[in-house]
Amino acid sequence: MKTFYGIDLPNPLMLGTAQYPSPAILEQAVRESGAGVATVSLRREGAGGTGQAFWQIVQDLGVLILPNTAGCHTVKEAVTTAHMAREVFDTKWIKLELIGHTDSLQPDVFQLVEAARVLTEDGFQVFPYTTEDLIVAERLLMAGCEILMPWGAPIGSGRGLNNEYALRAMRAEYPDVPLVIDAGIGLPSHAAHAMELGYDAVLLNTAVARAGDPVVMARAMMGAIQAGRLAHEADPIAARDMAEASTPVIGKAFLS
């Protein structure tokens, strides 16, 4: 498994911390998932005067913290939020989100590349939420990113992997770059499929937080991701259009 800016993850699941029914359920879900990383939105979770208690819950989980710039629409907003997150969490890691389309929450890739350049020059280790576009991916790597996080589908949509062809192409184009499917995962089977494609981790939030039982879903996601990774490592058979007999013909008795 690839390292993430030199750090080995204990589990290739990254779990968001928003929208849970209660702090207690959030804590249970993260622990049951075995997630190696918890993502935190500084702006959202700090609202309403409950921020300090929330930070304490997350820090007590004992997982790596990946602050994000959720809700930012400009380079200035994202850079400012990143600096605030670095001060609060004492980490160089930042998940860079720059939203360009209100309905789909699709990244504004032009501003994303610029913000990534600014932040990496300032010492941040950037995890960019991007599309599956190979040209954008190349520009992000040139800007200093060492990890790419293409979306599977729009945030919160639960549609799984909308463009498998492009995701396969990205994996093939960048075999040595850590790749994370970020957003759109709705079912454990989606997460398993991402790992079967050779991706190094999966980041999800809504699929667990908004499930009828977030704790059970967190456990299911953990199992699916582990199964998907093992399947990829096992070098699965290729799909075929026609049947192929599993029983050998040689040695079989024939009646004449």
Show which residues are catalytic. Answer: 95
Helix axes 109-121, 134-142, angle to 10 degrees: 20
124 CB-contact burial (10 Å; exposed 0-12 / middle 13-18 / buried 19+): buried
Helix (H, G, I), strand (E, B) or coil at 68: strand
Residues 6+ apart with CB under 8 A from 109: 100, 130, 131, 133, 136, 139
Q: Per the structure block, which two tokens stand in for 241?
A: 């259009």
Contact between residue 130 and residue 181 where contact means Cβ atoms under 8 Å apart:
no
What is the distance between the alpha carbons of residues 39 and 153, in angstroms, rounded to a whole number?
Answer: 18
